[in-house]
Amino acid sequence: MTTQTITTREIAGKTVHVNEEGFMTDPSEWTREIAVELAKEEGIEELTPEHWKIIEFCRQDAAATGAAPTLRRISKQAGVPTKELFRLFPKGPAKKVAKIAGLGKPQGCV
Amino acid sequence: MSEDNRHLVFICSKGNLDMAYPALVMGWAALGNGLDVTIFFTFWGLDLIRKDRVDHLEIAPVANTSMKMSMMGVPGNLGIPNLLGVLPGMTAFATALMKKKMDELEVPPVREYLEMLVDGGAKLYACKMTVDMMGLKEEDFIDGVEAIVTASDFIDMTEGAQIIFI
C-alpha cells in the first residue's frame, strides 16, 4: 500500500483537496459547479440529465456505502445499460464517473 | 480503436471456470480505465464463447493443489485428496462452490461478463485453426464475437499492444 499525497487545488472558485491522480478526497467539498468543471477536464463538454442521474446515484451510493460504486453496480442499481455508461462517459467511465462525482476510485473490481 | 491509446490483448487458451475469469476481470477493468481491449479465444478457451458451453464451465478438484478444504470452512491446509476428487459429483461440487463464492462477491457469470465487455467496446475473436479442428462454425458462438481469424490476422491486429496469455 502506498500512502497518497494530498494537495489542494481550485475548481470552480472553490479550494478542494485532491490526490495525485486528481480525485477529490473529501466528498463534502464537492459542488455541482465543480462537477461541471471536472467533466470538461475529462472531455465531457456538457452534463446532460442522463449524466446527472448517474452522478447523483454515485454520490448517494458512496454516502451510504463509503465507497464509489463500480460500473456494474451503477448499471444494476441505477438501471443504466453498460453501453450507455460508455457512451455518456467515453474512454474510461469507471474513473471518469468517480472523478466527476468527487469520489475516490471505485474499490471493487467489477 | 483509436491510435496511440493503450491496447490490452488477452489470449484465452483455457476453458476451466477459474481460468475464464482473469481476462474478464482485467479486461473489464481496462475498459473502465479507457483502454482498448481485444480478447482472442483459442483451444479450450473457445469454450468461453461457445453457446453450448459458456454456461457449463467447470473446475475439477483433481490435481488442483491449490484447492484446499479451507474454502469449505475446514481450518488448516488440508487438501482434497485426488482419490476423492475422482468420485462422481466432485467436479460439480467444486464448480458449484466456486460459483457460489463468485456470486457472493457479485461477480457476474461468464456469459454476462462477456456481454458487459462487448457493450463496453471489447473486441472478441475466435482462433481459426482450433475452430476448424473442433469442427465449429460462426453460429456456434455467442453474439458479440466479431470474427474467426487466423494467427496472421491476430499478429496484424495486435501490433503495439500488450499481450497477456492465459
Partner residue facing B32 (CB), from A81, A83, A95: A95
Asked if the C-beta of B34 comes within 8 angstroms of chain A's C-beta atoms, the answer is: yes
- Output the pLDDT for position B2: 57
Residue by residue, DSSP assigns B92-140 as HHHHHHHHHHHHHTTPPPHHHHHHHHHHTT-EEEEEHHHHHHTT--GGG
- Output the pLDDT for position B22: 95
Q: pLDDT, tens digit, for every residue of B131-144? A: 999 999 999 999 99
Cα A30 to Cα B142: distance, rounded to the nearest angstrom: 43
Q: Write out chain B residues lying below 8 Å of A95, CB-based.
A: 32-34
Is residue B32 assigned to a domain?
A: yes
Residue bearing cell 458512496: A62
Is residue B38 assigned to a domain?
A: yes
**Residue type for position B44:** W
- Active site residue ranges of A: 109
- The residue segments making up the domain with residue B23 are 7-165
| Mean pLDDT taken over chain B | 91
Q: Write out chain B residues lying below 8 Å of A106, CB-based.
A: 32
Q: pLDDT, tens digit, for every residue of A15-56? A: 989 898 889 998 999 999 999 999 999 999 999 999 999 999
Q: What is the CATH number of the domain that holds B121?
A: 3.40.1260.10
Q: Say how many domains are in chain B.
A: 1
Asked if the C-beta of A73 comes within 8 angstroms of chain B's C-beta atoms, the answer is: yes
Buried b (16+ CB within 10 A) or exposed e, B106-145: ebbbbeebbbbbbbbbbbbbbbbebbeeeebeeebbbeeb
pLDDT at B54 over 80: yes
Is residue B39 assigned to a domain?
A: yes
Is residue B2 assigned to a domain?
A: no
**Residue type for position A43:** G
